[in-house]
Amino acid sequence: MSQATVAPAPSHWGTGRSGLVLAGLILAFAIYLTVGIITMTVPDGAEPPGPKFFPIILAVACYALAVMLTVHYVRRPEAPADTDGVETIEEPEGVRHKSFTDWRTLGLTMAGFLAFALLLDPIGWILAAALMFWVIAWAMGSGSPLKDVAVALVLSCAVQVAFSAGLGLHLPAGILDGVL
């Protein structure tokens, strides 16, 4: 991962070149497409251009773009751009982080969502959604975990009422089945 923007950051070859991960990702897409094209069973009577035609174009484009992105990052490393209009006031001078991305907060946020996905059916919407809300709020630096529990439960219950009763969407009740 690239260094934080605080200068002077010790630089090594990888500085500003972590974008190569996207070149790798598009290469992975290319390989996925290639394997898919080779293993595809085309039904009899499919007239040319068949179902492989368009994916072949895409696979070629993926390989070409993997090369283009690699060249792009190798030739011209770039500093992280924070140009999307999100608040950009940085922390005080002198604070230096190992990477631009705060992997701990990001990891916890993603783990919160994963837990929600896996627990939704077993424990139900109200608890799973509240848990996710609480984990993400805590990971993002909320200083009052107890208040967060209340906020999380109010939100998940409100959604359950509004969407199950109001719009008729089915949300799993989980272990609270029968209570609701």
Partner 1 sequence: MESLNLLAGGLADALTPMNLLWVFIGAFLGTAVGVLPGLGSSMAVALLLPVTFTLDPTAAFIMFAGVYFGGLFGDSTMAILVNTPGGSTAIASTFEGHRMTLTGRGPQALATAAIGAFVGGLLASVIVVLFAPKLADLAVNFGPPEYLALSVLAFVATATVVSTSLAKGLASLVFGLTFAVIGIDGISGAQRFTFGAPQLFDGISIIVITVGVLALGEVFHVASRVRRTRPGRLHKITGRPYLSRAEVREAAPAWGRGALIGAPFGVIPVGGAEIPTFLAYGGERALDRRRKHPQFGKGAIRGLAAPEAAGNATAGTAIGALLAMGLPTSATAAIMLAAFRQYGLQPGPLLFTRSADLVWTLIASLFIGLVVLLVLNLPFAPLWAKLTKIPRHYLYAGIAVFCGLGVYATSAAVTDLILVLGIGFLGFLLRRYDFPLAPIMIGVVLGPLAETSLRNALLSSGGDYGVLVDSGISVTIYAALVLVLVFVAYRGLRARAARDV
Shortest Å, Cβ 9 to partner 1? 15
Cis amide bond preceding 172, omega within 30? no
Query: Binders of partner 1 among 133-172, rule CB under 8 A?
Result: 133-134, 136-142, 151-152, 155-156, 159, 163, 167-171
Shortest Å, Cβ 51 to partner 1? 4
Query: Binders of partner 1 among 51-80, rule CB under 8 A?
Result: 51, 53-55, 58, 61-62, 65, 68-69, 72, 78, 80
Amino acid identity for residue 23 in this structure = A
Pick from 11, 14, 21, 154 the residue near partner 1 by CB under 8 A: 21
Alpha-carbon distance of 129 to 180, in angstroms, equals 16
Task: Tell me the three state secondary structure of residue 134.
Answer: helix
Alpha-carbon distance of 68 to 22, in angstroms, equals 11
What are the tokens at 110? Answer: 């993603």
Pick from 9, 15, 22, 31 the residue near partner 1 by CB under 8 A: 22
Query: Binders of partner 1 among 100-119, rule CB under 8 A?
Result: 100-103, 105-106, 108-110, 112-114, 116-118
- Told to check if 28 binds partner 1 by CB under 8 A, we report no
CB contact at 8 A, 160 and 125? yes
Pick from 11, 121, 161, 175 the residue near partner 1 by CB under 8 A: 121
H/E stretch holding 56 reads helix 53-75
Please, which residue, 11 or 32, has the CB nearer to partner 1?
32
Please, which residue, 12 or 76, has the CB nearer to partner 1?
76
Please, which residue, 7 or 86, has the CB nearer to partner 1?
86
Alpha-carbon distance of 94 to 160, in angstroms, equals 46
CB contact at 8 A, 152 and 133? yes
Provide the sign of the torsion angle of the four alpha carbons 22, 109, 175, 124, taken in this order: negative
